[in-house]
Amino acid sequence: MRLRFNRNTLVVIGSLAAMGAAYTTYASYKGRHQDRLAAALLKELRKKFNPGIYGLSAEAAFDLDYKDRVLRKVSGQVAILSSDEALKKAQSIHSSFAHWLRGGDDEDRIYGVFRSLDDKVQVSQVAQAYYRKYHVNLIDKLEDKLTEEEINIILEIVKNLNPYTRKQ
């Protein structure tokens, strides 16, 4: 038995195939959108039940705009890092991460970078330089690479810094 299709039948079959492809694309998009929403909800729940690891997000010094807000609010001169110095510190943090081996990071070197900063404005400058160089938020990178205990050490270092230092 041989099937014969006329022009109208082929148009209908083509239309059905296009509608099927469109539905598949829509379902895939909708699934990814729902996955992103679920991931955001899960992250917020983790913040509530495990605040230690999400302390970086709560620390204003890691905000990329912190320096600019301080400069607008504070009259007088605020000591800031040069762009090159902030970039060198960001690169030092980045090179401390083991890119192939999990757990092979040089945490002491990372702590050293944060201990070398004079205030939270400089933390913000390093975070901004890191983002500009690597297109990744420093908070996300630290949370991805370090344990909760290691993050808490960084938080303690940063929490003890002054909000800013006046130029002398």
Confidence of residue 129 (pLDDT cuts 50, 70, 90): very high
Domain boundaries, the chain: 1-49, 55-159
pLDDT at 83 over 70: yes
pLDDT of the residue at 2: 64
Tens of pLDDT, residues 97-121: 876 555 567 899 999 999 999 999 9
Residue 165 has pLDDT above 70, yes or no: yes
Contacts of 105 (CB under 8 A, 6+ apart): 96, 97, 98, 145, 146
pTM over 0.95: no
Separation of alpha carbons 58 and 48, rounded Å: 12
53 pLDDT more than 60: no
Domain 55-159 in this protein, CATH class: mainly alpha
The span from the CA of 156 to the CA of 110, in Å, is 13
User: 86: which residues sit within 8 A by CB, 6+ positions away?
Assistant: 122, 125, 126, 128, 129
